[in-house]
């Protein structure tokens, strides 16, 4: 696996952690993996994605996953079902996908309608096909330091750091946000990589006190501009997972870019940083699942 050369900001020595450039590189690697798998097993890895209702972000993610999957030669099917789908109907679909051999990965997109429990539906998925990494068994394996499926945003974020030769070992890492999608799995991955990890959240007193100590800051609170330059340690590395819309409907991160740029040594942009890596990590998980299932 190759390493990405740093992208330098024209006006400073800041390293821009460019997820788009890196995704292009990894996409070529995954295309070769899919080709090798098809040659060995007579079929490509397959991903099934389920979206209930018309949530804009879920549909956009499904479209992006479809484009990326087909681009690398993977089989892909989206189940776009109405919001009034019953929980029993959805369970039957999941159980059917569990036994379909040409689908190695199953992804259920949140949010689900209020009458359906996301946690319950996730638990119905075969853990071997849980390419989002949210099944309780996979969550437990992650925090037991065992090989498992890691949620794609966190897996993609770690890959972004490592490919830019940023290694967490020995660093003071502060994670702002404790969601099961990003905050908690990122904290787990960083701890396993020998970083010293602090998790902050909405109830944390004096957030800036903690963020100023971070050699590596993970922003995943979902609050636009929450982290400003004065809240950062000089020379810090910042990984911004925030995807928010400001008052002009412009996509912005959790970190205030303009004030952070003069302070940090490396930072991921929004958009174009962690986002492109998420879909790539989902496809990588699907190939991993296909290999495991086909070797059983």
Report d(CA 45, CA 76) in Å as an integer. Answer: 9
Are residues 193 and 106 part of one domain?
A: no
Residue 97 within any structural domain of the chain: yes
Are residues 161 and 101 part of one domain?
A: no
CB 14 within 8 A of CB 263: no
CA neighbor of 7 nearest in space, from 274, 270, 266: 266
| Backbone dihedral angles phi then psi of residue 238, each to the nearest 5 degrees | -125, 125
Residue 159 within any structural domain of the chain: yes
Please, what is the end-to-end C-alpha distance for the chain in angstroms? 26
Report d(CA 197, CA 237) in Å as an integer. Answer: 14
Residue 295 within any structural domain of the chain: no
Report d(CA 62, CA 141) in Å as an integer. Answer: 27
Are residues 178 and 122 part of one domain?
A: no
Are residues 171 and 250 part of one domain?
A: yes
- Number of independent structural domains in the chain: 2
Q: The domain spanning residue 254 has which CATH number?
A: 3.40.50.720
Domain with 175, as residue range(s), is 151-276
Percent of the chain that is helix, strand, coil (3-state, to 5): 45, 15, 40
Which residues, 6 or more positions from 271, have their beta carbon under 8 angstroms from its beta carbon?
Answer: 243, 251
Residue 16 within any structural domain of the chain: no
Are residues 49 and 114 part of one domain?
A: yes
Helix (H, G, I), strand (E, B) or coil at 106: strand
Residue 215 within any structural domain of the chain: yes
Q: What is the DSSP letter of 205?
A: S
State the residue for tokens 């890596």: 277
| DSSP code string of 157-173 | HHHHHHHTT---TT-EE
Residue 141 within any structural domain of the chain: no
| Backbone dihedral angles phi then psi of residue 77, each to the nearest 5 degrees | -140, 130
CA neighbor of 6 nearest in space, from 267, 252, 238: 267
Residue 261 within any structural domain of the chain: yes
Are residues 119 and 155 part of one domain?
A: no
Are residues 82 and 194 part of one domain?
A: no
Are residues 201 and 107 part of one domain?
A: no
Q: The domain spanning residue 82 has which CATH number?
A: 3.40.50.10860
Are residues 268 and 155 part of one domain?
A: yes
CB 103 within 8 A of CB 129: yes
Q: What is the pLDDT along the chain (296 residues), one digit of tens a residue?
A: 444 544 444 445 899 999 999 999 999 999 999 999 999 999 999 999 999 999 988 999 999 999 999 999 999 999 999 999 999 999 999 999 999 999 999 999 999 999 999 999 999 999 999 999 999 999 999 999 999 999 999 999 999 999 999 999 999 999 999 999 999 999 999 999 999 999 999 899 999 999 999 999 999 999 999 999 999 999 999 999 998 887 788 889 999 999 999 999 999 999 999 999 999 999 999 999 999 999 87
Are residues 91 and 52 part of one domain?
A: yes
Residue 12 within any structural domain of the chain: no
């Amino acid at each position: 696996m190759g390493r990405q050369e740093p992208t330098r900001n024209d006006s400073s020595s800041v390293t821009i952690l460019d997820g788009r450039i890196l995704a292009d590189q990894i996409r070529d690697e995954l295309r070769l993996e899919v080709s090798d798998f098809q040659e060995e097993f007579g079929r490509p890895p397959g991903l099934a994605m389920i979206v209930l209702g018309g949530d804009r972000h879920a549909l956009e993610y499904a479209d992006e996953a479809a484009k990326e999957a087909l681009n690398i030669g993977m089989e892909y099917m989206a189940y776009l079902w109405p919001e009034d789908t019953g929980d029993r109907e959805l369970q039957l679909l999941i159980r059917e996908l569990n036994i379909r051999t040409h689908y190695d990965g199953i992804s259920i997109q949140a949010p689900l309608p209020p009458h359906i429990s996301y946690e319950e539906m996730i638990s119905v998925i075969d853990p071997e096909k849980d390419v989002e990494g949210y099944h309780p068994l996979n969550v437990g394996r992650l925090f037991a330091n065992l090989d498992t499926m890691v949620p794609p945003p966190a897996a993609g974020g770690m890959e972004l750091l490592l490919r830019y030769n940023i290694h967490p070992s020995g660093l003071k890492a502060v994670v702002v946000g404790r969601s099961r999608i990003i905050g908690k799995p990122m904290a787990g991955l960083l701890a396993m990589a020998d970083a010293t990890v602090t998790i902050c959240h909405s109830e944390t007193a004096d957030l800036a006190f903690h963020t100023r100590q971070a050699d590596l800051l993970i922003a995943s609170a979902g609050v636009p501009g929450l982290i400003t330059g004065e809240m950062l340690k000089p020379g810090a590395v910042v990984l911004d997972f925030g995807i928010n819309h400001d008052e002009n409907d412009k996509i912005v991160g959790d970190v205030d870019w303009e004030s952070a740029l003069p302070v940090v040594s490396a930072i991921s942009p929004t958009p174009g940083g962690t986002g492109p890596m998420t879909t790539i990590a989902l496809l990588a998980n699907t190939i991993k699942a296909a290999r495991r299932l086909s070797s059983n």
